[in-house]
Amino acid sequence: QVTLVESGGGLVQAGGSLRLSCVASGRTVNSYALGWFRQAPGKEREFVARITWRSGYTVYADSVEGRFTVSRDYGKFTVYLQMNSLRPEDTGVYFCASDRFPRTTMSKNSENYDYWGQGTQVTVSS
């Protein structure tokens, strides 16, 4: 069992920045990578970014490429999502999720993630 706790969400003006954190605990040996997903009101959950714990290999959704940066502190088992140039369409509940396997092309699929955090709200005003 892996427990994930997100934090750092809040209100921000368009063009501003926000930094989210996700702390993993429990049987983290079962976690190979951590992904970020978000869900806006009335929309389905979508992939945002992913990072592997050991190598720091990253994958981004096209919608956030160049604006968001995912990083990790392996010693603290904490993953960060630095969000810059925020837009109103970035508004939503942001979740972190754990994947136990290395992947090449399937890393964006929510079905591949076994454990999920509670989520943290991000609201971007125009």
Task: Give 60's pLDDT tier (boundaries 50, 70, 90).
Answer: very high
Residue 47 has pLDDT above 80, yes or no: yes
CA distance linking residue 109 with residue 86, whole number of Å? 24
Q: What does the pLDDT read at residue 105?
A: 78
How does the average pLDDT of the chain come out, rounded? 95
The yes-or-no verdict on residue 76 having pLDDT over 90 is: yes
- The residue-averaged pLDDT of 35-64 equals 96
pLDDT digits (tens, 9 = 90+) for 83-109: 999 999 999 999 999 999 988 778 899
3 pLDDT more than 80: yes
C-alpha to C-alpha distances, 101 to 35, 47, 122, nearest whole angstrom? 12, 17, 28
- Count of H helices and E strands in the chain? 0, 11
Q: Tell me the mean pLDDT in the region 8-27.
A: 97
- Give residue 104's pLDDT: 77
Q: Give the per-residue pLDDT at 106.
A: 80
Residues 6+ apart with CB under 8 A from 75: none
